[in-house]
Structure 1
Amino acid sequence: MPRIPRARTRPAPVARPTRLARVARPATATGVVLAVALTASLAALPAGAAAPPVQAAPPGGAVTTASAARDTGGVPDSTWVATWAAAPNGGTTTDGFPGYTIRNLVRTSAGGDRVRVKLSNAFGTAPLVVAHTTVGVQRLPGSPAVADGTLRDVTFGGAEAVTVPAGAEVWSDPVGLRLGAGTDLFVTTFTPERSGPATYHAEGLTTSYYATDGTDHAGSPDGAALTSTTTSWHYVTEVAVEPGASRGAVVTLGDSITDGVGSGRDRNLRYPDVLAQRLRDAGGVHARTGVVNAGISGNRVLLDGAGVRATDRVERDVLQRAGVSTVVVLLGINDIQQEPHQLDPTKITDGLTRIARDCRAAGLTVLGGTVTPFAGWRSYGPEQEATRQAVNDWVRTTDELDAVVDFDAAVRDPADPHRMLPAYDSGDHLHPGEAGLAAMARAVDLSALGRPGAVRPGRPAPVERSVVVASGPETVTAVAGRADEVVFRVRAVVQRPGTARGILTTTVDGVRTRTPFEVTSAGRRTQVDLEPTVALPPDAPPGPRTVRFEVSVPGAGRAVTQARLDLVALGCTQDDDVCAVELPFDHDSIATETNDADGDFDGLGWSYAAETLPSAGPAPLAGTVYAFGSGADGVDNTVRAGGQTIGLPPLRADGLHVLAAAADGAVDVPATLTYADGGTQVVPLAFSDWAQGAGAGEQVAVAAPYRLRAGGGRDAPPVNVFARAYAVDPARTVASLTLPDEARLKVFAVTLEQADG
Structure 2
Amino acid sequence: MPSQQLEVAGGSRLHFNNQTLRQIARLSTGGTRVRVVLTNTFGTVPLRIGAAQVALRDKGASIVAGTNRVLTFGGLAQPAIPPGALMVSDPVDMEVPDSADVVVDVYLPDNTAASRSSVTYHPASWQTNYVSAQGNHVGAVSLPVATTTAYRRSDGLPSASSFFLSRVEVVTRQPTGVLVAFGDSITDGTQSGLDQNRRWLNLLDARLTAAGIRMSVINGGIGGGRVLEDGVGPNGLARFDRDVLAQAGTTHVTIMLGINDIGNGGAKPNPSVAELIAGHRQLIDRAHARGLRVYGATLTAFEGAAYWTPEGEAKRQALNEWIRSSGAYDAVFDFAAATQDPTRPTRMRPEYDSGDHLHPSPAGYTAMSNSIDIELFRSPGR
- TM-score for the superposition, normalised by structure 2: 0.89
Report the equivalent of 1:597. Answer: none
Please give the residue correspondences for 1:589-600 in structure 2 after superposition, counting only pairs within 5 Å: none
User: What is the identity, as a one-letter code, of the residue corresponding to 1:316?
Assistant: R
Q: 1:101 aligns with which of 4, 20, 32?
A: 20
> Where do 1:63-78 residues align within 5 Å?
none
Structure possessing the higher relative contact order (Cα contacts under 8 Å, 6 or more residues apart): 2
Query: What is the match of residue 93 of structure 2?
Result: 176
Q: How does 1:414-425 map to 2 (within 5 A)?
A: 414-425=342-353
Kindly indicate whether the alpha-carbon contact (under 8 Å) linking 2:253 and 2:293 is maintained by their aligned counterparts in 1: no
SS in 2 for 1:304: coil
For 2:232 and 2:351, the matched residues in 1 are separated by: 29
- 1:661-720 residue CA offsets vs partner (Å, 9 max, x unmatched): xxxxxxxxxxxxxxxxxxxxxxxxxxxxxxxxxxxxxxxxxxxxxxxxxxxxxxxxxxxx
Equivalent pair of 1:250/1:450 in contact (CA under 8 Å): no
Query: Are 1:220 and 2:137 an aligned pair?
Result: no
Query: Aligned partners of 1:128, 1:450: CA distance in 2, in Å?
Result: 41
Deviation at 1:451, TM superposition (A): 4.2
- Residue 247 of structure 1 deviates from its aligned partner by 3.5
Tell me if 1:294 matches 2:294.
no
Deviations 1:183-235 (CA, angstroms, capped at 9, x unpaired): 1111110111245322111111111100252x111121111x22311121111
Q: Aligned with 1:431: secondary structure? A: coil
2:277 to 322, 329, 349: 349
Instruction: Give the superposition deviation at 1:361.
Output: 1.7
Deviation at 1:445, TM superposition (A): 2.2
Distance in 1, Cα, partners of 2:30 & 2:255: 24
Contact 1:247/1:325 (<8 A) preserved: no
- Summarize the alignment of residues 573-652 of structure 1 with structure 2, pairs less than 5 Å apart: none
Q: Is 1:439 matched up with 2:358? A: no
Q: 2:188 aligns with which of 259, 263, 269?
A: 259
Look up the match of 1:197. Answer: 118
Contact kept, 8 Å, 2:31 with 2:97, in 1: the verdict is yes
Runs (5+) with no aligned partner, structure 2? 150-159
Decide whether the 8 Å contact of 1:247 with 1:450 is kept in 2: no
Cα displacement (A) at 1:275: 1.1
Alignment-mate amino acid for residue 337 of structure 1: G
Q: How does 1:3-402 map to 2 (within 5 A)?
A: 6=8, 51-52=10-11, 97-140=16-59, 143-193=60-110, 194=112, 195=115, 196-213=117-134, 215-223=135-143, 225-230=144-149, 231-283=160-212, 286=213, 288-339=214-265, 342=270, 344-402=272-330
CA distance in 2, matches of 1:381, 1:106: 38
2-structure distance, mates of 1:379, 1:236: 32
* Separation in structure 2 between the aligned mates of residue 127 and residue 450 of structure 1, nearest angstrom: 43
CA distance in structure 2 between the aligned counterparts of 1:395 and 1:161, rounded to whole angstroms: 47
Structure 1, unmatched stretches of 5+, are: 8-50, 54-91, 455-757
Distance 1:343 1:129 in 2: 41
Alpha-carbon contact 1:126-1:165 (below 8 Å) kept: yes
Provide the C-alpha distance between the structure 2 equivalents of 1:4 and 1:372, rounded to a whole number of angstroms: 30
**Could you tell me which residue of structure 2 aligns to residue 69 of structure 1?**
none
Secondary structure of the equivalent of 1:227?
strand
Q: Deviations over 1:566-618 (max 9, x none)?
A: xxxxxxxxxxxxxxxxxxxxxxxxxxxxxxxxxxxxxxxxxxxxxxxxxxxxx
- Does 1:448 find its partner at 2:367? no
Secondary structure at 1:426's aligned position in 2? coil
Instruction: State the shift of 1:370 in Å.
Output: 0.9
Alignment of 1:698-717 (within 5 A): none
> Partner of 2:95: helix, strand, or coil?
coil
Q: Sequence identity, in percent?
A: 40
Distance 1:4 1:234, change over 3 A: farther
SS at match of 1:389: helix
Q: CA deviation at 1:450?
A: 6.7
Deviations along 1:528-564, one digit per CA (max 9) or x if unpaired, are xxxxxxxxxxxxxxxxxxxxxxxxxxxxxxxxxxxxx
Q: Give 1:158 deviation, angstroms.
A: 2.7
- The normalised TM-score by structure 1 is 0.46
Question: 2-side partners of 1:453 and 1:256: how far apart?
Answer: 27
Answer 1 or 2: which has greater strand percent: 1
Residue in 1 aligned with 2:157? none
Residue 430 in structure 1 maps to residue 335 in structure 2: no
1:661-680 aligned at under 5 Å gives the runs: none
Q: Deviations over 1:706-745 (max 9, x none)?
A: xxxxxxxxxxxxxxxxxxxxxxxxxxxxxxxxxxxxxxxx
Q: Is the 8 A contact 1:325 1:450 kept in 2?
A: no
How many residues were matched structurally? 362
CA distance in 2, matches of 1:406, 1:97: 43
- The Cα offsets for residues 139-167 of structure 1, whole Å up to 9 and x where unpaired, read as 12xx2111122122112223322221111
Distance 1:452 1:157, change over 3 A: same
Would the aligned equivalents of 2:255 and 2:294 in 1 still touch at CA under 8 Å? no
Against the structure 1 CA distance between its residues 209 and 52, is the aligned structure 2 distance closer, same or farther, given a 3 Å change threshold?
closer
Which string of whole-angstrom CA distances, capped at 9 and with x for unpartnered residues, describes residues 101-128 of structure 1?
1001111111111111100011111111
| 1:97–1:198 Cα contact (<8 Å) kept | no
* C-alpha distance in 2 between matches for 1:118 and 1:451: 28
Mapped partners of 1:132, 1:451: distance in 2:
40
2:31 is paired with a residue of what secondary structure? coil
The residue identity in structure 2 corresponding to 1:209 is Y
Letter in 2 for 1:335: D
Q: Distance in 2 between matches of 1:246 and 1:447?
A: 17
Q: Greater helix share, 1 or 2?
A: 2
What secondary structure, in the 3-state scheme, does the structure 2 residue paired with 1:297 have? Answer: coil
Q: What residue identity is the alignment partner of 1:121? A: N
- Partner SS for 1:177: strand
User: d(CA) in 2 for partners of 1:320 and 1:218?
Assistant: 28
C-alpha contact 1:117 1:240 (8 A) present in aligned 2: yes
Deviation at 1:324, TM superposition (A): 1.1
Amino acid paired to 1:165:
P
Larger radius of gyration: 1
- For the structure 1 residues 212 and 174, does the alpha-carbon distance in structure 2 shift closer, same or farther, using more than 3 Å as the test? same
Q: Output aligned runs, 1:674-753, within 5 Å.
A: none
Q: Distance in 2 between matches of 1:100 and 1:292?
A: 28
Distance 2:351 2:381 in 1: 40
1:453 deviates by: 7.8
SS at the partner of 1:113? Answer: strand
Report Cα offsets for 1:429-468 as digits up to 9, x if no partner: 11001111111112222222274389xxxxxxxxxxxxxx
